[in-house]
Amino acid sequence: MEFTTFTNEYDGKKNKVASKILDIMRLALDINPPTIEDIGEKKTAVFVWWSPQCPQLNVMIHEGGWKTDVKANEDYTVYTYQDNADKELDSIIKRLHDIKEDIV
């Protein structure tokens, strides 16, 4: 699947950040595909939220699968307008690649 929703109205930084957000979402779908019957049975559950009004990306990683009333083992919040957003997104991408390698 190829995403082509980004136009020239984005400057270089915004386009780069948007591309990384899509990478994170793709990795989350690779780790937890839409065909999952029970997310609690997964080795690792990944949740991704995009809040465009902020603009903010949240990623939560539940090792051992998702369980009711159990906090995530890892919780990332990135405000994409901040100077360090690029590095934070890279860190999340690396972590999700590591998880994906472990489950394949």
The tens digit of pLDDT for each residue in 38-55 reads: 666 668 889 999 998 889
Note whether residue 5 is domain-resident: no
Note whether residue 2 is domain-resident: no
Note whether residue 51 is domain-resident: yes
DSSP state of 28: H
CA angle 40, 64, 85 (to 5 degrees): 100
- E strands, the chain, in order: 44-51, 56-63, 74-79
Q: How many domains does the chain have?
A: 1
Query: Is the pLDDT reported for residue 6 higher than 90?
Result: no
Domain residues for 80? 12-103
Question: Whole-model pTM above 0.75?
Answer: yes
Note whether residue 43 is domain-resident: yes
Note whether residue 23 is domain-resident: yes
Note whether residue 54 is domain-resident: yes
DSSP state of 53: T
Note whether residue 4 is domain-resident: no
Note whether residue 64 is domain-resident: yes
